[in-house]
A and B are shown apart, each in its own frame.
Chain A
Amino acid sequence: MTTADICLLVEGGYPYLLGGVSSWVDSFIRSLPHRSFHVVAFSVSTQPRRRRFELPDNVAHLTDVILDDCPPGVPPRRRAAGQIDALIDEMRRLLLAGAGPAWVDFVRELDRCGLAQRALLDSRAAWSAFERVYDATVPGAPLVDFFWTWRFLASSMLAVASVPIPPARIYHAISTGYPGLLGARAKALTGNPFLITEHGIYTNERRIELSVADWIYESPAAGFDVTGRTGELRGIWLDAFNSMARISYDCADLITTQFRMNQVYQLHDGADEAKLRIIPNGIELDRFAAIAPDREPRRPTVLLVGRLVPIKDIRTFIQAAALLRRRVPDVEALIIGPDDEDPAYAAECRHLVQQLELQETVRFLGRVPDVRAYFGRVDVLALTSISEAQPLAVLEAGAAGVPAVTTDVGSCREILEGPAEPGPDGAGGFVVDACDPGATADALARILLDPALRERMGEVMRARVHTVFDQRRIIARYDEVYESLSPVRADA
């Protein structure tokens, strides 16, 4: 296997799932044609692995790490109970309160002894050790639930600790979590530099997922008392993901993210401030700057670009359209985005349109060949997402001079209002609270009913995107980061 310039470590997306981060990864690799990549995709065995992206020519290898498919490892020796006991105890400490140095010691020990599933999960000694872990961790929790929690966390940790490390000059994880663990291990065993780029903060995203997860058992005994420890098994999952973040941050040479608020969370999760950098998303300005506004008479038009999934909160957009129609009766609301990821949610959205009698107002256009064709024909972009990092749709529309109304998520406020607060050039749109159709409709109406304001905001957006989010400059910054980490060039 040839040594790649960059080993890109990606969890749960590229090249198998569509989405913001997957699109970013694809565009990122294509933007660096002079560097070769080895992509490592982390997934679970139940996730379909049909490629949704054609791999760019500079991807030399693609390796799958299946988190719930731990390698068997060497069989345990007869008198290995003590060693197994010690390793499992170390795994428990790593999962509940891990840190970089302990992880490095652990992976070196595993690398030396070659033990994995057979010894550390399936052996009699492993069962005895598991019982002790249970008594020491959550003695009151249901044993079966704890068993499966432990089984997944331990086997995924072992999978990451056992997978062959792809040869590469730099290891670049696109999150903490499992990619971060592998990056930390690669750095420890190869000595090569390790970089983290976080779009959304991994611990925040996992915490949110776990908070609404139905599959985790939770005793009702605590009622609504939230002053104590997080409920049992959920607490273990949270501790594990926090540990992974801490290990990743400890071992990384540099940590980049797109906007300042993310850095606050990274510091909170234990990142060293000296390692933190901001590199925003970039877009190809040339592709969007040339889009001229269509001056033909048409209905006032609002555009939403996003998958029909709950996180985009399309329901709020539809309700906002209903309220907006009271003030702008001939308004048209377009929704561009695939609807096959959550068909039930997509059906609910269509039903809501019927229920609110909006068939003449809201149109679902599905996946379109080129979204640019619409930017010249709309007056304002809407984004009602309940979670985002730095949405490309807002940047792309902005580059074409389309103002936006967005929820106050991710870096939307920074994009619309500038890095500090609206400067003399003003804002490129309005930021509203999430899940608030009334506020969304009000903001959209202000822009639709005031052509001068619309024009001004569009120009502000265009100028800001061209100044801050030019992909050529962003890619150059990543190139600089790679250069600073490794003096060895790909073509050297």
Chain B
Amino acid sequence: MMIENAGDGFAGTGPLLDRSTPERLPVALVAGSTVLCEVALAFALVRGSAPPAVAIAVHVALSILVGALALAVLRRTRSALLVHLALWTFTAGPFGAALAAGLITLDLTARRRAVDQDFGRWLDDEVEAREHDPIGRLRSDLLDGRLRLVGDGAVRPLRATLEGDDRAAKFEALARIARRFDPSLSHVIHAALGDADPSVRVLASTVLAKLQTLHTREIATLQAAAAQAPASAEASLALARARLGYARSGLIKALQVRTELLAAGAAADDAVAAAPHSVPARALRDAIRAAIGAGGPAPGAAR
């Protein structure tokens, strides 16, 4: 699971799918097989056991086959790993296939490592990393409205405001966040919770509670709607998305993140049960399962 904000993507399933990669083994298998085929073809060409025309034809056919597989995987999971493999293989034969296979191996290893880590610690590390890495900062800057065509240098980062002594500016920063919250700004609220000025801490707590309440009230409404229409896939899907949005909001701690993910998964299961062929419902369910799979035991099991 990624804690990074997906913005409006919460409403859809697209940005979630490239994180789920349910076909890790097939991707590795296809990559390995392609490399072997290309290497064997190259040897056959060098030794003269395959004429150049046949070798080229087999190379093109193999590239087309990998390309077709890549498109199928891309359509189902939005994973572009095999597209790379197909393009590199077509362009540079065995060398391209080997290069692409190496990149795929690195990518899959990195994901596995993340999954294996303890859920809560991993989640916190992830949040921490996202706050400080250049992309996280750039994203925060864009959302802050500090990157503009004119006068961009005049706008102070909100986090920096919290580090200063201007109490009014701190209040103002939190007020703006309360009105136009984005998950990537949650770190500003959390920083304000530790401010030396008690009144800033109180406002930060109030803003946090208000934003949490917005989520919980929306969830309660959608939950009532889903209970009234148990056969409605749309109602369950909306509830699953709302819970997932809350889990990814940056407003709640690891324990509740996991609880919300489990509840989101149950709602997504209901949606799939109501509409077994619904692509969005199945995709969301798979994404939530993958996110849950990255965590530890369920809250009930912790007793």
| B201 at the A interface (CB under 8 A) | yes
* Option from B172, B198, B216 in Cβ contact (under 8 Å) with A348: B216
| A208→B206 contact, CB < 8 A | yes
Please measure, in the bound complex, the distance between the C-alpha atom of A314 and the C-alpha atom of B178, giving whole angstroms: 20
Given A208-B203, A227-B155, A386-B209, 18 extra CB contacts under 8 A: A207-B199, A208-B199, A210-B175, A212-B175, A220-B180, A224-B176, A226-B156, A226-B172, A230-B175, A315-B209, A322-B255, A325-B302, A325-B303, A355-B259, A356-B255, A386-B206, A409-B198, A409-B201
Can you list 29 A-B contacts (CB < 8 A)?
A207-B199, A212-B210, A218-B179, A220-B180, A223-B145, A224-B144, A224-B146, A224-B158, A224-B177, A225-B156, A226-B161, A227-B154, A227-B155, A311-B206, A313-B209, A315-B209, A315-B212, A322-B299, A325-B303, A347-B220, A348-B220, A355-B263, A386-B202, A386-B205, A408-B201, A434-B201, A435-B193, A436-B193, A437-B255
Q: Residue B198 contacts which of A231, A347, A408, A436 (CB distance < 8 angstroms)?
A: A408
Chain B interface residue count, CB cutoff 8 Å, equals 49
Least CB distance from A401 to B in Å reads 28
Q: Nearest chain B CB to A327's CB is how many angstroms away?
A: 11
Q: Which residues of B contact A435 (CB under 8 A)?
A: 193, 205, 208-209
The reply to whether A310 and B198 contact each other, CB–CB distance below 8 Å, is no
Contact A223 B253 (CB under 8 A): no
Cα of A319 to Cα of B252 in the assembled complex, Å: 10
Count CB-based A-B contacts (< 8 Å). 130
Bound: A326/B302 CA distance, A = 7
Interface residues of A (CB under 8 A from B): 201, 204, 207-208, 210-212, 218, 220, 222-227, 230-231, 234, 261, 265, 310-311, 313, 315, 319, 322-323, 325-326, 329, 344-345, 347-348, 351, 355-357, 386-387, 408-410, 433-438
Do A226 and B169 touch across chains, with their CB atoms under 8 A apart? yes
* B174 and A211 form a contact (CB under 8 A): yes
| Residues on B with beta carbons closer than 8 Å to the beta carbon of A323 | 255
B217 within 8 A of A: yes
- CA A224 – CA B169 in complex, angstroms? 11
Quick check: B220 and A310 within 8 Å, CB to CB? no
Q: Interface residues, chain B, CB within 8 Å of chain A?
A: 143-146, 148, 154-156, 158, 161, 168-169, 171-180, 193-194, 198-199, 201-203, 205-210, 212-213, 216-217, 220, 253, 255-256, 259, 263, 299-300, 302-303
User: How far does the Cβ of A341 sit from chain B's closest Cβ, in whole Å?
Assistant: 14
Q: How far is the CB of A310 from chain B (nearest CB, A)?
A: 5
Q: Are B155 and A225 in contact (CB under 8 A)?
A: yes
CB pair A223–B193 under 8 Å, yes or no, is: no
Closest to B207 in A: A212
Across-interface contacts of A211 in B (CB, < 8 A) = 171, 174-175, 178, 203, 206-207
Interface centre among B156, B161, B202, B203 (most CB of A within 10 A): B202
Tell me whether A387 and B213 are in contact in the complex, defined as CB-CB below 8 angstroms, given that A212-B175, A435-B193, A437-B253 are known contacts: no
Known: A261-B198, A325-B303, A326-B302. A223 touches B205 (CB 8 A): no
Q: Which of B144, B148, B209 is the most central at the interface, judged by chain A CB atoms within 10 Å of its CB?
A: B209
Closest A-chain residue to B201, C-beta based?
Answer: A434
Chain A contacts for B174, CB-based, 8 A: 211
Task: Report the bound CA distance from A208 to B209 in whole Å.
Answer: 12
In whole angstroms, what is the CA distance A460 to B83 when docked? 69
Contact flag A226-B199 (CB < 8 Å), given A211-B171, A348-B220:
no
Please report the C-alpha to C-alpha distance between residue A311 and residue B207 in the assembled complex, in whole angstroms: 11
* Cα separation A326 to B255 with both chains bound (whole Å): 12
The CB with the most chain B CB atoms within 10 A, among A265, A387, A435, is that of A435
Q: Which residues of A contact B154 (CB under 8 A)?
A: 225, 227
- Whether B158 pairs with A387 at a CB distance below 8 angstroms is no
Q: Return chain A residues, CB-CB under 8 Å to B198.
A: 261, 408-410
- Measured in the bound complex, the distance between the Cα atoms of B198 and A387 in whole Å is 9
Residues on A with C-beta less than 8 A from B173 are 224, 226
Which residues of B lie under 8 Å from residue A357 when comparing CB positions?
299-300
CB-CB < 8 A to B217: which residues of A?
Answer: 344, 348
- The answer on a CB contact under 8 Å between A230 and B205 is no
- Decide if A319 touches B253 in the complex (CB within 8 Å): yes
Q: Sorted from nearest, which 4 A-B pairs have the closest CB atoms?
A: A223-B145, A386-B205, A211-B175, A224-B144
What is the chain B residue whose CB lies nearest that of A385? B205
The interface residues of chain B lying within 8 Å CB-to-CB of A226 are: 156, 158, 161, 169, 172-173, 176
